[in-house]
Structure formats: structure tokens, C-alpha cells
Amino acid sequence: MSRVSSRTFLVFALAAVSVVLLILSSSNRLGPVEGALSSAGRPFLITFSGLGRQINNMVTTARDLATLRGRNNQLQTMVDTLTIDNLRLQEAESENERLRSLLRFRQLNPNYDFRGGQVIARVIGKTPSNYLQSITIDLGSEHGIKPGMPVVTERGLVGRIHKVGALSSTVLLITDPSSGVPALIRGNRLSGIVNGRAGGQPVMEFISQDEKIALGDTVITSGLGGNFPKNLVIGQIVEVRQRDYEMFQQATIRPTVNFDRLEVVLVITNFQPLPGEPGEPESVG
């Protein structure tokens, strides 16, 4: 049989099958065949349907993960920004509280003129002649600062101006061994001298041996000698040393000022110390 005859036969065969199927379908005689084919193909349809759902779920999950990752990055950026802003607000609030405390101190001491300055340097080191404990503030001669002026905070006495430059000054702390502050105990009015100690807390010396000293008593400036104003708080007695063979007893003082955290101080500018005192401060250009 030729190739053309084969094609013609195939066409007529398919046409005949189609006609037969149409006749059977119109007479509802294909139901059993269709049911058999549907039952045979159902497992394959279920399998392909499940695979389709899994693939769709995977695509959806990947899309959701990408969205969540982007959202997480946005939220992390917001958290970082809020954290920085919160730290700035806390620092501003802390500074405002310090300034409010200084303002209250000024209002409680109307007889003094004050000039506020920032602590810009700290010197706690050994020199050839002494163990120097001092700080540097951003006020100098151009701001009316002079040697010997007392330096305070709202918590008490810090020290006195030691050296003066044009735009900065060195403050000798009361914890320095060369710093001597005439003082008295508030409770019993006993007088003495508070001297700094290298590597330790200041000590009030030259206290009469016959007097009773109570732990916790407050020590203030006495005003004697003319180096410091009267009634500035120095600290609190935390230890008493008394020996029968010594002429005087001593009291260890815990300063009310936290020298490790000084940031802002006040200089009393209308108090002029008497000249010629031992260890008189010097002026530098």
C-alpha cells in the first residue's frame, strides 16, 4: 500500500471512530468508559495536584521570607534609631538634672557669685615633688577667674583654682596631699585641718584628743585662715583614729563630692582668699 493510501485510510478510520464516539456519547453509552478512565486517572490527578500545591506553597513561603527579611531590616533600623534617640534624651535629662541641682545650690547661696565651667581634663598622676590630683576647667583669666578662688558643686567643696591660663584653669582638689582646708565638725564644732592623702581619703587632723567624735558627723569648712568661705560641706566622718600617746586624734573623711564623676563645677568668683598663705596658688600665662 502506498504512503498516500495509508494516510487516506488513517483519516477515514479516525473519522469513523469519531462518528462512533459521537453516536455513543449522544446515546449516553460512554458513561462506563468515561468512569473507568476517570478512576484510572484519579491517582495521577491527585499526585500532580499535591505537587502543584507544594510548589505553590514553596513559592509563597519564599516570597513571605523575603518580605519578612526586608521588614525585619526596616524594624532593626527603627530600633537602632530609637535607641540612639533614647540615649540622647537620657543624657540630656541627666545634664538638665545636674544643672538644676547647681541652680538650686546657687539659689541657696545668694551671697556668692558663681561662674559655671565644664571639666575638660583630669590630672591624677605622680610628679617629681608630689602626687598631684587636679582637674582642668574651661574657664580662665578671660572669664574673670583668679588663683585661689574656691570651686564647688551642689554636693560640696571640690578644691580651689591653682593655675590660671587665658581660657582654662587647673583646680587643685581637696584630695591632693598639698591641699589643706580649715574645717570643723558640724555636730560638736570641733576644728581641725582636712588634708588630702595620696591614694586614700582625706583626713581631718589636729583634733583635740579629749573630744568625742561620732562616725557619720558632717565636716564643713570653718572659714579660718581666709582660704575658703565658711559652711561649705566637705564630707562625712567614716573612721576615727585615736591613740593615747598622740597629742591629737584624726578622722578619715569621705568627701560628698564624687571626684570621679565631675562634669560641671561652680567657681565662687566674689571670694578673695587672703594672700601669703602656705601653698598659695600661682598664676600662669
Q: What does DSSP assign to residue 143? A: G
Domain ranges of the chain: 1-108, 114-173, 180-265
Name the more confident of 276 and 18.
18
The pairing of beta strand 156-164 with beta strand 150-153: antiparallel
The pLDDT, as a whole number, for residue 46 is: 62
Q: How confident is the model at residue 53 (pLDDT cuts 50, 70, 90)?
A: confident
Range in 8-12, 172-176, 201-205, 268-272 with the lowest mean pLDDT? 8-12
Mean pLDDT of 236-261: 91
Q: Identify the architecture of domain 180-265 in CATH.
A: Beta Barrel (2.40)
Same fold, 114-173 and 180-265: yes
pLDDT in tens, 152-180: 999 999 999 999 999 999 999 999 998 99
Percent over 70 (pLDDT), the chain: 71
The pLDDT, as a whole number, for residue 102 is: 75
- The C-alpha cell that represents 235 in the structure block: 564630707
Angular region, 252: left φ>0, alpha ψ -120 to 50, beta rest:
beta
Q: How confident is the model at residue 230 (pLDDT cuts 50, 70, 90)?
A: very high
The pLDDT, as a whole number, for residue 118 is: 82
Name the more confident of 71 and 40.
71
β-strand partners of 199:
none
Q: In whole angstroms, what is the distance from residue 244 CA to residue 278 CA?
A: 30
The pLDDT, as a whole number, for residue 41 is: 52
Q: What does DSSP assign to residue 194? A: E
Mean pLDDT of 49-54: 67
pLDDT for residue 47 is more than 90: no
pLDDT in tens, 22-33: 665 566 555 565
The pLDDT, as a whole number, for residue 71 is: 82
Q: Identify the architecture of domain 114-173 in CATH.
A: Beta Barrel (2.40)
- Diameter over CA atoms, the chain: 146
The pLDDT, as a whole number, for residue 26 is: 61
Mean pLDDT of 249-276: 87
β-strand partners of 138:
none
